[in-house]
Amino acid sequence: MNKNTILIIGANGQLGSVLVKELQKLYGKENIIASDLNFNLSFDGVFEALDATDFDLMQNVVKKHAVTQIYHLAAILSATGEKNPLKTWEINMKMMLNVFEVSRLNKIEKVFFPSSIAVFGDAVLRENTPQSSFLNPATVYGMSKASGENWAQYYFLKYNLDIRSLRYPGIIGHQSLPGGGTTDYAVEIYHNAVKEKEFTCFLAKDTVLPMIFMEDAIRATIELMEAPKENIKTRTSYNIAGMSFSPQEIASEIKEIYPNFKINYNPDFRQKIAESWPKSIDDNQARKDWNWKPTYNLKTMTKVMLEKLAVKYGLQLTSCD
Ligand code: AKB
């Protein structure tokens, strides 16, 4: 078997920080090269400071470590992106094209490019949004992801570069915090709940969005990347689903364990973004092509989130059975 040396770009982020640890377990610490703008003092492993908008720097890191796979997880997300659309476009596109071009030039064996439910807009069925829907995203982040999907397919068709991609829903995990997304409320709410603090939600109570638990998101990523090449029939990006819920539904699940938990609602500009996205996702193509299947629902995820966060904060969990 060929030796795998895997570069993760955006290793300090919500998904990156968890994925790096999983890949270290699978491939060995010395074979995972974590990279981000700055070194995180608590990180244990091989690290390279890398600004992914710098083509030469990326190329040097890839050559220095004889990298064979790249996971590109760095991006400006939906809510932050709307504050400076042109800068978001420039940075997201530059990083993504650098990854694809460096991968082509260095004959990288496999590339992972994350897409998002943000690629969908008001042209789609919002319930069980089909894989092959027309993409008319309403945010610049969604536009950069939809365009990235087409570039991924282009590099595959033109250069046979093996790029694989998932359209992530909102990712919820206890290990790390998200930053700048519209689905971030669904992580913050658990932190407030265990600290027994009231939570003000920036979305309206009945705003249903697709979400996925971190464990499922990591497993989906690794299963997609490990699948035989001939099974990957979709070269833009695969829909994946975990669960769908609204702020009032997650709050009532939390109240099962923290009966005194209080939530109030103060929708801001993120409400409009959320309303442009699907409520639920049809992921049958991923199930069929590489046997994808989520394992967590709102109830089972809530139990784990509250247990783990209570331990993290050294707090007592009220009741959890
Ligand atoms: C965001 O809210 O921007 C992200 C996403 C759904 O891609 N979590």
Among 182, 203, 276, name the best residue to mutate to test ligand 1's pocket (greatest count of ligand atoms within 8 A of Cβ).
182
Task: Give residue 139's Cα distance to chain centre.
Answer: 17
Whether residue 13 contacts residue 214, with contact meaning beta carbons closer than 8 Å, is answered with no
CA distance 95 to 87: 12
Whether residue 220 contacts residue 116, with contact meaning beta carbons closer than 8 Å, is answered with no
Amino acid identity at 75: A
Nearest CA to ligand 1 atom 8: 170
Q: How far is the CA of 251 from the centre of ligand 1 (A)?
A: 20
CA distance 107 to 304: 41
In a domain, 272, yes or no: yes
In a domain, 317, yes or no: no
Amino acid identity at 153: Q
pLDDT digits (tens, 9 = 90+) for 52-90: 999 999 999 999 999 999 999 999 999 999 999 999 999
pLDDT digits (tens, 9 = 90+) for 240-273: 999 999 999 999 999 999 999 999 999 999 999 9
Whether residue 35 is predicted with pLDDT greater than 50 in this model: the reply is yes
- Same-domain pairing of 182 and 76: no
Whether residue 198 is predicted with pLDDT greater than 70 in this model: the reply is yes
- Same-domain pairing of 107 and 79: yes
What is the CA angle 275-281-285, rounded to 5? 150
Q: How far is the CA of 105 from the centre of ligand 1 (A)?
A: 30
Indicate the number of domains in the chain.
2
In a domain, 1, yes or no: no
What's the average model confidence in pLDDT over 176-195? 97
CA distance 91 to 180: 15
In a domain, 157, yes or no: yes
Q: How far is the CA of 274 from the centre of ligand 1 (A)?
A: 9
Nearest CA to ligand 1 atom 4: 181
- Same-domain pairing of 196 and 263: yes
- Same-domain pairing of 152 and 35: yes
Residue with tokens 């500009």: 269
Whether residue 67 contacts residue 4, with contact meaning beta carbons closer than 8 Å, is answered with no
Q: How far is the CA of 319 from the centre of ligand 1 (A)?
A: 31
Half-sphere exposure of 27 (CA within 13 A, CB side): 24
- Which residues, judged by CB distance below 6 Å to any ligand atom, belong to the binding site of ligand 1? 77-78, 116-118, 141, 168, 170, 181-183
pLDDT digits (tens, 9 = 90+) for 139-148: 999 999 999 9
Whether residue 57 contacts residue 96, with contact meaning beta carbons closer than 8 Å, is answered with no
Q: Count CB neighbours of 289 within 10 A.
A: 16
Q: Which of 141, 155, 185, 296 is catalytic?
A: 141
Nearest CA to ligand 1 atom 6: 170
Active site residue 141: yes
Q: What is the pLDDT of residue 316?
A: 74
pLDDT digits (tens, 9 = 90+) for 92-113: 999 999 999 999 999 999 999 9
| Token pair of 65 as six digits | 């470590």
- Same-domain pairing of 127 and 196: no
Rg (CA), the chain: 19
State how far the alpha carbon of 127 is from the alpha carbons of 131, 207, 211, 244, 279, in Å: 12, 13, 14, 10, 6
Q: What percent of the chain has pLDDT over 70?
A: 98
Print the domain residue range for 184: 172-210+242-280+295-312
What's the CATH code of the domain at 60? 3.40.50.720
- Same-domain pairing of 96 and 47: yes
